[in-house]
Amino acid sequence: MATLGTLATHPARDRLDLFASPTSAALQQWPGGAEAYGAEIDPGLADTAAFCEAYDVPLEASANCVVLAGKREGVERMAACVVLATTRADVNGVARRRLDVRKISFAPMDVAVERSDMEYGGITPVGLPADWPILIDARVVEQPLVVIGSGLRRSKIVLPGAVLATLPGVEVVTDLAREIPA
Protein backbone atom coordinates (compact mmCIF):
# COMPACT_ATOMS: atom_id res chain seq x y z
CA MET A 1 0.00 0.00 0.00
CA ALA A 2 1.26 3.49 -0.88
CA THR A 3 0.88 5.87 2.04
CA LEU A 4 0.70 9.58 1.30
CA GLY A 5 -1.13 12.00 3.56
CA THR A 6 -4.51 10.65 4.62
CA LEU A 7 -5.33 9.02 1.27
CA ALA A 8 -6.81 5.52 1.42
CA THR A 9 -5.05 3.76 -1.46
CA HIS A 10 -5.65 0.46 -3.24
CA PRO A 11 -3.57 -1.28 -5.91
CA ALA A 12 -4.69 0.44 -9.11
CA ARG A 13 -5.25 -2.80 -10.98
CA ASP A 14 -7.67 -3.92 -8.26
CA ARG A 15 -9.76 -0.72 -8.60
CA LEU A 16 -9.87 0.07 -12.30
CA ASP A 17 -13.32 1.62 -11.71
CA LEU A 18 -11.54 4.65 -10.19
CA PHE A 19 -10.00 5.73 -13.51
CA ALA A 20 -11.02 7.12 -16.88
CA SER A 21 -11.25 4.36 -19.50
CA PRO A 22 -7.97 5.20 -21.32
CA THR A 23 -6.20 5.36 -17.94
CA SER A 24 -7.62 1.97 -16.86
CA ALA A 25 -6.47 0.41 -20.13
CA ALA A 26 -2.98 1.90 -19.77
CA LEU A 27 -2.66 0.78 -16.14
CA GLN A 28 -3.38 -2.80 -17.20
CA GLN A 29 -0.87 -2.83 -20.08
CA TRP A 30 1.95 -0.64 -18.75
CA PRO A 31 4.41 -2.50 -16.46
CA GLY A 32 4.43 0.55 -14.14
CA GLY A 33 0.74 -0.03 -13.48
CA ALA A 34 1.77 -2.73 -11.00
CA GLU A 35 3.34 0.00 -8.84
CA ALA A 36 0.39 2.41 -9.08
CA TYR A 37 -2.28 2.91 -6.46
CA GLY A 38 -5.68 4.53 -6.71
CA ALA A 39 -7.38 6.72 -4.12
CA GLU A 40 -10.99 7.85 -4.19
CA ILE A 41 -11.43 11.53 -3.30
CA ASP A 42 -14.18 14.13 -3.08
CA PRO A 43 -14.46 15.48 -6.66
CA GLY A 44 -15.05 18.95 -5.23
CA LEU A 45 -11.51 18.78 -3.83
CA ALA A 46 -9.77 17.66 -7.03
CA ASP A 47 -7.98 20.97 -7.63
CA THR A 48 -4.43 20.84 -6.31
CA ALA A 49 -4.48 23.32 -3.44
CA ALA A 50 -7.82 22.11 -2.04
CA PHE A 51 -6.81 18.46 -2.51
CA CYS A 52 -3.44 18.84 -0.77
CA GLU A 53 -4.97 20.67 2.18
CA ALA A 54 -7.90 18.25 2.61
CA TYR A 55 -5.82 15.07 2.32
CA ASP A 56 -2.63 16.32 4.02
CA VAL A 57 -0.51 15.76 0.90
CA PRO A 58 2.54 18.02 0.59
CA LEU A 59 2.52 20.21 -2.53
CA GLU A 60 5.94 18.84 -3.48
CA ALA A 61 4.39 15.34 -3.70
CA SER A 62 1.59 16.49 -6.01
CA ALA A 63 2.11 16.74 -9.77
CA ASN A 64 -0.02 18.51 -12.35
CA CYS A 65 -0.46 17.45 -15.95
CA VAL A 66 -1.14 20.23 -18.44
CA VAL A 67 -2.09 19.72 -22.07
CA LEU A 68 -0.35 21.90 -24.64
CA ALA A 69 -1.16 22.65 -28.26
CA GLY A 70 1.44 23.95 -30.68
CA LYS A 71 1.73 24.49 -34.40
CA ARG A 72 4.50 24.30 -36.93
CA GLU A 73 3.94 24.79 -40.65
CA GLY A 74 0.18 24.51 -40.12
CA VAL A 75 0.39 21.14 -38.37
CA GLU A 76 -1.02 20.98 -34.83
CA ARG A 77 0.97 19.09 -32.20
CA MET A 78 -0.49 18.08 -28.85
CA ALA A 79 1.65 17.25 -25.83
CA ALA A 80 1.52 17.01 -22.06
CA CYS A 81 3.78 18.46 -19.38
CA VAL A 82 3.95 17.03 -15.88
CA VAL A 83 5.35 19.31 -13.19
CA LEU A 84 5.23 19.48 -9.39
CA ALA A 85 2.57 21.68 -7.81
CA THR A 86 5.36 23.86 -6.39
CA THR A 87 6.45 24.76 -9.93
CA ARG A 88 5.11 26.11 -13.23
CA ALA A 89 5.87 24.61 -16.62
CA ASP A 90 8.12 26.76 -18.81
CA VAL A 91 5.68 26.50 -21.70
CA ASN A 92 7.01 29.27 -23.95
CA GLY A 93 10.66 28.36 -23.42
CA VAL A 94 11.65 24.78 -22.69
CA ALA A 95 8.39 23.05 -23.75
CA ARG A 96 8.10 25.03 -27.01
CA ARG A 97 11.68 24.20 -27.98
CA ARG A 98 11.32 20.50 -27.05
CA LEU A 99 8.18 20.19 -29.17
CA ASP A 100 9.78 22.12 -32.03
CA VAL A 101 6.85 24.46 -32.58
CA ARG A 102 6.77 28.18 -33.33
CA LYS A 103 3.76 28.94 -31.14
CA ILE A 104 2.46 27.02 -28.13
CA SER A 105 -0.26 27.49 -25.54
CA PHE A 106 -2.36 25.58 -23.07
CA ALA A 107 -4.92 23.59 -25.03
CA PRO A 108 -8.47 24.90 -24.66
CA MET A 109 -10.40 22.95 -22.03
CA ASP A 110 -12.88 21.41 -24.47
CA VAL A 111 -10.07 20.29 -26.79
CA ALA A 112 -8.01 18.79 -23.94
CA VAL A 113 -11.04 16.90 -22.60
CA GLU A 114 -12.20 15.62 -25.99
CA ARG A 115 -8.80 14.49 -27.23
CA SER A 116 -7.62 12.94 -23.96
CA ASP A 117 -11.02 11.33 -23.18
CA MET A 118 -10.51 12.49 -19.58
CA GLU A 119 -12.19 15.01 -17.28
CA TYR A 120 -10.83 18.52 -16.96
CA GLY A 121 -9.02 18.82 -13.65
CA GLY A 122 -8.18 15.11 -13.69
CA ILE A 123 -6.09 14.74 -16.86
CA THR A 124 -3.18 12.40 -16.29
CA PRO A 125 -0.20 11.31 -18.38
CA VAL A 126 -1.32 7.68 -17.91
CA GLY A 127 -3.43 6.80 -20.94
CA LEU A 128 -2.91 9.86 -23.12
CA PRO A 129 -2.95 9.33 -26.90
CA ALA A 130 0.18 7.46 -28.04
CA ASP A 131 1.22 10.22 -30.45
CA TRP A 132 1.41 12.88 -27.72
CA PRO A 133 4.89 13.49 -26.32
CA ILE A 134 4.88 13.59 -22.52
CA LEU A 135 7.45 15.91 -20.97
CA ILE A 136 8.09 15.30 -17.27
CA ASP A 137 10.14 17.66 -15.14
CA ALA A 138 13.06 15.84 -13.51
CA ARG A 139 11.87 16.95 -10.04
CA VAL A 140 8.73 14.82 -10.46
CA VAL A 141 10.80 11.72 -11.20
CA GLU A 142 12.89 12.34 -8.05
CA GLN A 143 9.86 12.11 -5.73
CA PRO A 144 9.61 8.84 -3.74
CA LEU A 145 5.81 9.05 -4.16
CA VAL A 146 3.80 11.45 -6.25
CA VAL A 147 0.07 12.04 -6.68
CA ILE A 148 -1.27 12.64 -10.21
CA GLY A 149 -4.71 12.77 -11.77
CA SER A 150 -6.62 9.63 -12.67
CA GLY A 151 -8.48 10.91 -15.70
CA LEU A 152 -11.46 11.62 -13.40
CA ARG A 153 -11.97 14.29 -10.74
CA ARG A 154 -13.15 11.72 -8.17
CA SER A 155 -9.82 9.92 -7.74
CA LYS A 156 -6.04 10.18 -7.87
CA ILE A 157 -3.11 7.93 -8.71
CA VAL A 158 -0.21 7.51 -6.27
CA LEU A 159 3.05 6.01 -7.51
CA PRO A 160 6.82 6.42 -7.31
CA GLY A 161 7.94 9.40 -9.39
CA ALA A 162 10.56 7.30 -11.17
CA VAL A 163 7.83 4.97 -12.46
CA LEU A 164 6.32 7.85 -14.46
CA ALA A 165 9.54 8.02 -16.46
CA THR A 166 8.76 4.53 -17.80
CA LEU A 167 5.51 5.58 -19.50
CA PRO A 168 5.60 5.26 -23.29
CA GLY A 169 6.38 8.57 -24.99
CA VAL A 170 7.98 10.18 -21.92
CA GLU A 171 10.95 12.49 -22.00
CA VAL A 172 12.35 13.54 -18.62
CA VAL A 173 13.46 17.16 -18.91
CA THR A 174 15.71 19.02 -16.49
CA ASP A 175 14.33 22.49 -15.75
CA LEU A 176 11.05 21.98 -17.61
CA ALA A 177 9.50 23.92 -14.74
CA ARG A 178 10.40 26.91 -12.62
CA GLU A 179 9.80 27.25 -8.88
CA ILE A 180 6.78 29.37 -7.98
CA PRO A 181 8.01 32.34 -5.93
CA ALA A 182 6.70 32.32 -2.36
d(CA 78, CA 48): 23
Neighbouring residues of 73: CB distance < 8 A, sequence distance ≥ 6 = none
Domain ranges of the chain: 9-179
Q: What is the pLDDT of residues 78-95, one digit of tens each?
A: 999 999 999 999 999 999
What pLDDT digit, counting tens, does each position of 151-177 carry? 999 999 999 999 999 999 999 999 999
Given a cut of 80, whether residue 182 has pLDDT beyond it is: no
| pLDDT confidence tier of residue 75, bands split at 50, 70 and 90 | confident
pLDDT digits (tens, 9 = 90+) for 129-147: 999 999 999 999 999 999 9
Tell me if 150 sits within 8 A of 124, measured CB to CB: yes
For residue 29, give every residue at least 6 positions away whose Cβ sits within 8 Å of its Cβ, in sequence order, or none. Answer: none
Query: What is d(CA 55, CA 141) in angstroms, rounded to the nearest whole number?
Result: 22
pLDDT at res. 73: 86
Please give the pLDDT value at position 180.
86
Please list the alpha-helical segments (H only) found in the chain. 21-29, 48-55, 96-99, 109-116, 138-141, 161-164
Which fold is adopted by the domain 9-179? YbaK protein (3.90.960)
- CA distances to 76, 104, 106, 147 from 101, rounded to whole Å, are 9, 7, 13, 30
Q: Does 58 have pLDDT greater than 90? A: yes
Q: How high is the pLDDT of residue 82?
A: 98
Please report the pLDDT score of residue 24 as a whole number.
98
Q: How many CB atoms lie within 10 A of CB 97?
A: 11
